[in-house]
């Protein structure tokens, strides 16, 4: 007997009960984004490998260790399953001339792929909501994006999510800070771990983001980037903070917040929680003014963020916010050849009127079918036997009201009766 095949480790099936929960979440997210004027864009899951090397940076963990890359056997092209969405979104904007129609507010929802050690809240195939604003230069759009997060947490009924912000300044300011960091870390080479030693001369800023407890105190005393920012960068950062203060959104300036992608400049931010263990970041982003030009377009300011869907759904469940599985309005029970033929017509007619209908399939006695009708969560059962079929009638049974009368109705009158009862029920709630 052949071995049963399993899904790839870290790439998970989302089964019906869970998938329905995801759909409720996604509907909330789409409504929230629409309220801020964002429009959807959909990009391929597979992109040219050079796109990510150029955008993210060749000496980042993502490019060095985490990308799923392969050679196209037909033409030898180097391809990669997308590890993040911003690079692909900017590529699409440039390729299709959208950069000539800026500003643009765009969003996407979909799978990303990183070859990491799977753990709770971190998977090899994961889902993100990505939000990108292209063509906006001022601190106002940075602040609005942060305020968007605060509103979504409220819409989802979440609390305990804290905001951290920082400014990475401009490339020349980071270059000065980089030189100071290298000089500082060189004094501590005897305690640096392998990751820190590897990054020392290629990407020393990432050492500040270390999770190694033995390096925390040393990193806390390292030169701070904010001390190297010029007047314009400081003014931009102050502008973001002023909007947050005016809106009453609490935040912490975290000088060690650097993000893992090379394309960021000026504002960076993370929304974090302590309710998900080690994977505490649920939303993160910032400004990336150089990326459009870096990928071949005209120099264009831009800002964006991404949210981890798996982490947010875990947080919703942790907060007790899991919704009940949706149930049909009507379950159609039928027995007999003529009854079965009429049942199909009745079910389609009710659907024409906007009523959700589950039609019983697979046969069985009235008793067994009624048991399934009750288990479906439906509000009503429509019961049709050959006697009813002969007269064009059906029985309407109220499944959620103890002792409620069972009505015998012409099939053409069913929709009106059901809709009336549903409206009455909604008004009572």
Helix (H) or strand (E) segment spanning residue 397: strand 393-398
- Domain parsing of the chain, residue ranges: 16-169+229-318, 330-421
Q: Among 89-93, 220-224, 358-362, whose mean pLDDT is lowest?
A: 220-224
**Residues paired with residue 330 on neighbouring β-strands, in sequence order:** 357, 380
Distances (CA, A) of 73 to 47, 70, 113, 146: 15, 9, 21, 43
Q: Which CATH superfamily is domain 16-169+229-318 in?
A: Bira Bifunctional Protein; Domain 2 (3.30.930.10)
Tens of pLDDT, residues 81-125: 999 999 999 999 999 998 788 899 999 999 999 998 877 778 899
What are the tokens at 417?
A: 């009766």
* pLDDT of 302 over the 80 cut: yes
Would you place residue 402 in the very low, low, confident or very high pLDDT band (cuts 50, 70, 90)?
confident
- Report the mean per-residue pLDDT for the chain: 90
Tens of pLDDT, residues 6-31: 999 999 999 988 898 899 899 999 99
Q: Among 138-142, 259-263, 331-335, 383-387, whose mean pLDDT is lowest?
A: 259-263
Q: Among 242-246, 321-325, 352-356, whose mean pLDDT is lowest?
A: 321-325
Q: Among 93-97, 171-175, 250-254, whose mean pLDDT is lowest?
A: 171-175
Would you place residue 260 in the very low, low, confident or very high pLDDT band (cuts 50, 70, 90)?
low
* pLDDT of 429 over the 80 cut: no
Distance CA 87, CA 211 (A): 26
- Tell how strand 330-335 and strand 380-385 pair up: parallel
What pLDDT is recorded for position 401? 80
Q: What is the Cα 254 distance to its own chain's centre?
A: 24
Residue with tokens 């869970």: 18
* pLDDT of 315 over the 70 cut: yes
What pLDDT is recorded for position 212? 86
* pLDDT of 59 over the 70 cut: no
Fold match between domain 16-169+229-318 and domain 330-421: no
Average pLDDT for residues 412-422, to the nearest whole number? 89
Preceding omega of 7 cis (within 30 degrees of 0): no
* pLDDT of 235 over the 60 cut: yes
> Reduced to 3 states, what is the DSSP secondary structure of residue 310?
helix
What pLDDT is recorded for position 257? 85
Domain 330-421 fold is Rossmann fold (3.40.50)
* pLDDT of 427 over the 60 cut: no
The reported pTM is: 0.83
* pLDDT of 277 over the 80 cut: no
* pLDDT of 43 over the 70 cut: yes
Would you place residue 1 in the very low, low, confident or very high pLDDT band (cuts 50, 70, 90)?
low
Q: Among 107-116, 317-326, 384-393, whose mean pLDDT is lowest?
A: 317-326
Would you place residue 80 in the very low, low, confident or very high pLDDT band (cuts 50, 70, 90)?
very high
Q: Among 39-48, 120-129, 334-343, 381-390, whose mean pLDDT is lowest?
A: 120-129
Higher local confidence (pLDDT), 429 or 387: 387
Say what percent of the chain tops pLDDT 90: 63
Query: How many residues would you count in the chain?
Result: 429
Please, what's the largest Cα pairwise distance for the chain? Answer: 93
Give DSSP secondary structure letters for 335-352: ESHHHHHHHHHHHHHHHH
What are the tokens at 216?
A: 């925390």
Would you place residue 323 in the very low, low, confident or very high pLDDT band (cuts 50, 70, 90)?
low
């Amino acid at each position: 007997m052949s071995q049963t095949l399993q899904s790839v480790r870290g790439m998970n099936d989302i089964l019906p009960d869970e998938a329905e929960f995801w759909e409720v979440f996604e509907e909330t997210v789409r409504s929230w984004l629409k309220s801020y004027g964002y429009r959807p864009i959909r990009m391929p899951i597979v992109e040219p490998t050079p796109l990510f090397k150029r955008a993210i940076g060749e000496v980042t963990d993502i490019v060095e260790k985490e990308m799923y890359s392969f050679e196209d056997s037909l033409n030898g092209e180097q391809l990669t399953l997308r590890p993040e969405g911003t690079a692909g979104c900017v590529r699409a904007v440039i390729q299709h001339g959208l950069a000539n129609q800026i500003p643009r507010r765009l969003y996407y929802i979909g799978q990303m792929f990183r070859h990491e050690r799977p753990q709770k809240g971190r998977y090899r195939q994961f889902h993100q909501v990505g939000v990108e604003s292209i063509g906006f230069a001022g601190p106002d759009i940075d602040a609005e994006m942060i305020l968007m997060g605060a509103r979504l947490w409220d819409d989802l009924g979440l609390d305990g999510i804290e905001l951290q912000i920082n400014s990475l300044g401009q490339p020349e300011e980071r270059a000065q800070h980089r030189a100071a960091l290298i000089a500082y870390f060189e004094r501590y080479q005897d305690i640096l771990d392998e990751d820190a030693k590897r990054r020392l001369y290629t990407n020393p800023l990432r050492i500040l983001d270390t999770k190694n407890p033995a390096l925390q105190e040393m990193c806390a005393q390292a030169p701070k980037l904010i001390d190297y920012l010029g007047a314009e960068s400081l003014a931009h950062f102050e502008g973001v903070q002023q909007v947050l203060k005016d809106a009453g959104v609490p935040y912490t300036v975290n000088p060690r917040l650097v993000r893992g992608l090379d394309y960021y400049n000026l504002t960076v931010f993370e929304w974090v929680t302590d309710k998900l263990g080690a994977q505490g970041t649920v939303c993160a982003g910032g400004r990336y003014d150089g990326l459009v030009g870096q990928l071949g377009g005209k120099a264009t300011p831009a800002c964006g963020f991404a949210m981890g869907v798996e982490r947010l759904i875990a947080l919703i469940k942790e907060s007790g916010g899991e919704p009940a599985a949706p149930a049909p309005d009507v379950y159609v029970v039928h027995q007999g050849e003529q009854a079965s033929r009429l049942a199909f017509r009745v079910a389609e007619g009710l659907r024409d009127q906007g009523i959700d209908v589950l039609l019983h399939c697979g046969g069985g006695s009235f008793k067994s079918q009624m048991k399934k009708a009750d288990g479906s969560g439906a509000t009503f059962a429509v019961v049709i036997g050959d006697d009813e079929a002969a007269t064009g009638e059906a029985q309407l049974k109220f499944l959620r009201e103890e002792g409620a009368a069972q009505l015998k109705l012409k099939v053409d009158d069913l929709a009106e009766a059901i809709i009336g009862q549903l409206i009455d029920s909604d008004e009572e709630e």
